Chains A and B, each alone.
Chain A
C-alpha cells in the first residue's frame, strides 16, 4: 500500500536517489544507544565502546572542531584564527558564518552510541542497574538531531508538544538544562507509556521537573502563549519506515485515507501552536519521520506565513547547513531541502527518515 504510493510520490521527488532510499526503508534500520546520564555513565559508555560503538555526537563535534577532546573551550576559541592545513575550506567558511562555537550551538550532554557505517551489529537490550534505572535507550539515532539542534540552554523552559512515547523527551532531559519540561501528547494511553519510560530512566527528583499533560497540542496558543524558550514540535506523520514494513495500524490503509489527507493540516496547526507557545526570541524545532515534502517544507512554509498574517509574528527559518556538515559522517543527508534538513535512509547508514527545521520567533 504505502510502497506504491511512495514509488509514485518519492520517485518524482527524489529522482535517481529514490531506489537507494527505498532499499534502506525496506531493510533493517540502525539504532543508536542514548546513554542515560542518570545512570552509571562511565560504565555504560565503556560497555558500549567495548561493542565497538562510538558516540556519534562527540565524534561529530570533535571532527568539526579539529581539536583534541580535552582542550578547554577558551583555547579552541583562540586557535580558531590560527591557520590550519587540515581544516578544509568549506568548514572554515562555515565557522565564520556561525560565530558561536558549534559545541555551544548543539545541546550539550547528549551521548549516543552508534555502530559505524556499514557495521550492522545490534545493541543488546539495556538492563536496569542496582537502583532499577536503565543505562541506555535505543532509538533511531537520527531522532536525536531535532533535540540537538534545539540547543537547550541552562535554565530554559521547554515544551515537547507531541512527546509520546518519549525518546526525544528523554533526550531533552539528558541535557540537564531544562528548568521545566512540559511534555504533552494528545493520546492518554501514549502518555502513560511515556510516564513508564521516564520512570525507568530518570530519578524522581528529575521527573518532578517534568509536567505531563494530555491535551490537544493545537490549542497551545491559547493555553500558554509566549511562554517557552524552546519548543519541540515532533508531529504525527506518515511514519514512512513503519508504513512500508508493518501491515497493522498502517496509515496508508484505505480506512485511514481521510486521516492521512488531513495530516499536513494538523502538522501545520501544531507547528503554529508551537510558535505561539514560544517566547519572542524563543526557538522552535519542527520534525517528522517522513520524506514527504508536503509534510516537511510545505508545512513549515505555510506555518511561517500564517504566523505572520494571522498573528503578526515574524519567524526566522534557520540555515542548518553547518549542522549538516557536522553530522554528515554519521548520517546521509538530502542535499536539496528548501528549508531544514532531511536524513535519508541509506543501507550503509540506515537511520531516518528524519526531517527537522529550526525556527526562531523574532523579538
Chain B
C-alpha cells in the first residue's frame, strides 16, 4: 500500500517502480515503520528517493535511531539537501571540537541546524572563546554542555562573557562549570542587577574583594525563577516583574542615548518637572 501511494506521488520524479521498491525496503530494514516512511517522503517531496536514502543512512550511521532521524529531518528539512559526504565531514569536524559520541547525537537531536550552518560561523564562535582566553579544554566543555552557543552570534557571546567577567567578577572556570552560556544575557542581567540593587551582590574591586559574600553564580542562574525569588532574592514575583520592565526600559534608553551621542552632538537631556 505504501508502495502504491508513493508510486503515484513520485511518478513525476521519473522513478522506476522497482527502484522505489528497493529504497522502501532499505528504509524498512533500517527499522522505519510504514507510517514513518510516509512521513519521510512528505518532507521536501520533490527530492529523489535515493538522495533521501543516503542522508537517512548517514544519520543512522551517526547513531540516531529512526525516531530521532525523523525528528531531526522534520525540524530541519534542509539537512536533506546535504550530501552524505558533507554530513560526514561536519560530524568529523564537530568531533574534533570535542563533540564526540553521545554528544554528537545530542547536538543533532536538539540543534540539527548546527549540521547545516556554514563552518565559518562555528569557527568564529570557537575562536571567540579562545580570544577570551578560555583554555581549549574549557571551550570543549562549553560546547558539550551548551552546544546552543554555536547558533549564537560571537559578539553576543563575547558581551555575555565580558559582563560576567567584569561586572560580576566571575572567572572562566566558574562560568564554564555553572553553565553561564545556557542563560540568555537579558535574564542574566535581570537576576544579577536585581540582586545588586537589593544589596545582595557586589562587583569585586581591583583586588577581587567585596564587602558582602556574593552568592555563587550557579545559585543565581541554575535555579527556577520561583526559587531564585524565594531563596536568593527574598522578593516577590510582583517586584521582579516590575523590575524587569524598568530595567528593559533603562537599557533601551541607555542605548538610545549612546547612539544619539555618537550620531550627533545634541545633549540628550530630558525635560522634567521639578521635584524637591
Contact = CB atoms under 8 A, between A and B. Distances in A.
Contacts, number: 78
Given A19-B199, A23-B198, A28-B250, A120 B275 contact: no
Interface stretch (A41-49, A136-144, A224-232): A136-144
Give the interface centre of A23, A27, A346 by most chain B CB atoms within 10 Å.
A23
A310 interface: no
A234 B274 CA distance: 16
A27 B243 contact: yes
A16 B234 contact: yes
A143 B275 contact: yes
B273 A139 contact: yes
Interface string A7-25: 1000100001011101100
A22 B233 CA distance: 13
A197 interface: yes
B198 A120 contact: no
A197 B274 contact: yes
A347 to B, nearest CB: 4
A26 B247 CA distance: 11
Given A7-B199, A20-B198, A347 B274 contact: no
B275 A138 contact: yes
A23 B194 contact: yes
A183 interface: no
A167 B235 contact: no
B12 interface: no
Contacts of B238: 117-118, 347-348
Give the interface centre of A19, A22, A139 by most chain B CB atoms within 10 Å.
A19
Contacts of B197: 22-23, 26-27
Nearest to B270: A125
B96 interface: no
Give the interface centre of A31, A126, A140, A347 by most chain B CB atoms within 10 Å.
A347
Interface residues of A, number: 34
B207 interface: no
Nearest to B194: A23
A120 B245 contact: yes
Contacts of A7: 199
B199 A166 contact: no
Binding site of A, secondary structure by majority: helix, strand, loop or mixed? mixed
Interface string A150-169: 00000000000000011110
A179 interface: no
Contacts of A28: 246, 249-250
Nearest to A136: B273
Interface string A119-144: 01000011000000000011110010
A144 to B, nearest CB: 12
Interface in B56-93: none
B275 A118 contact: no
A61 to B, nearest CB: 24
Interface string A25-42: 011100100000000000
Contacts of A193: 274
Contacts of A18: 199
B198 A19 contact: yes
Interface in B16-32: none
A289 interface: yes
B273 A347 contact: no
Contact of B273 (A26, A118, A137, A239): A137
B271 A125 contact: yes
Contacts of A126: 273
Contacts of B242: 118, 120, 347-348
B198 A22 contact: yes
A305 to B, nearest CB: 28
Contacts of A137: 273
A320 B271 CA distance: 36
A298 B199 CA distance: 27
B200 interface: yes
Interface in B193-225: 194, 197-200
A137 B272 CA distance: 10
A347 B239 contact: yes
B276 interface: yes
Given A19-B200, A347-B246, A118 B235 contact: no
A276 B67 CA distance: 88
Interface string A273-307: 00000000000000001000000000000000000
B276 to A, nearest CB: 6
Interface in A192-208: 193, 197
A120 B274 contact: no
Contacts of B276: 139-140, 143, 165, 167-168, 234, 239, 289
B239 A125 contact: no
Contacts of A125: 271-273
B241 interface: yes
A125 B242 CA distance: 23
Given A19-B235, A239-B276, A348-B242, 4 more contacts: A19-B234, A23-B194, A23-B199, A125-B271
23 contacts: A19-B198, A19-B234, A23-B197, A23-B198, A23-B199, A23-B243, A27-B243, A28-B246, A28-B249, A118-B241, A120-B242, A120-B246, A125-B272, A138-B275, A139-B273, A140-B276, A143-B275, A143-B276, A193-B274, A234-B276, A347-B239, A347-B243, A348-B242
Interface of A: 7, 11, 16, 18-20, 22-23, 26-28, 31, 117-118, 120, 125-126, 137-140, 143, 165-168, 193, 197, 234, 239, 289, 346-348
Interface of B: 194, 197-200, 233-235, 238-239, 241-243, 245-247, 249-250, 271-276
The 6 A-B pairs with the shortest beta carbon distances in the complex, nearest first, are A138-B273, A19-B198, A23-B197, A347-B239, A26-B197, A165-B274
